[in-house]
Amino acid sequence: MAAGDVTTAHPERVDCVLDAQYPYFYLSENTSLINPGLSTWTGMVTAARGKLQMQVPWTAERVHVVTEIHPGEPDDVIEAYDDVIEFGYSSATGLAAVLDWSQTLAGPVDLLPGDHRLRYHVREAVEPGAGSAVVAEALIQLWPAKLGEKEELRITGALGNFWHPGARLRSVWNGL
């Protein structure tokens, strides 16, 4: 499936497969500031000037992105993913979109304007078949909530340990 092909789209869930020529994609509102109360930071997600740049494993050839809008905190699926972070997200317009690395539209995301929590999950998977392509699977969950600090909920994969090495170091120190 090519970048921009949307397999399922409705207000609560957007499901798309993107080309991963470069190891990231965007969640964008095309506004000047996505969250004025959140300073720009880097890691698995970089927040800057109207876009969130979401990192995926650099070995991935494609990324399957599912974006879910929930009325309240969603069910916990953290254990099913290698790396999970959560942070406050303020929607200026309520009209966001998933864009591939080249900023081509992959799917619209409709949510209410205002403050949300965003939980970003990512894992690597090998697609069965002749080429055994590496596919990243990303899940973005959003729900209305007060803005809050970034939290590293699960960091076990190579991607998370590269971008969030403190999680690995904390677990080593806690084990002593």
| pLDDT per position as a tens digit, 101-132 | 998 999 999 888 999 999 999 999 877 765 77
Full-model pTM: 0.82
Asked which of 9-13, 47-51, 76-80, 88-92 is least confident by mean pLDDT, the reply is 9-13
Ramachandran assignment for 43, one of left (phi > 0), alpha (psi -120 to 50 degrees), beta (any other) = left
Q: Is the Cα dihedral 21, 27, 33, 36 positive or negative?
A: negative
Burial class (CB in 10 A: 0-12, 13-18, 19+), 142: buried
Cα distance between residue 130 and residue 4, in whole Å: 24
Band (pLDDT 50/70/90 cuts) for residue 51 is: confident
Of residues 166 and 110, the one with the higher pLDDT is 110
Residue 127 is predicted with a pLDDT of: 75
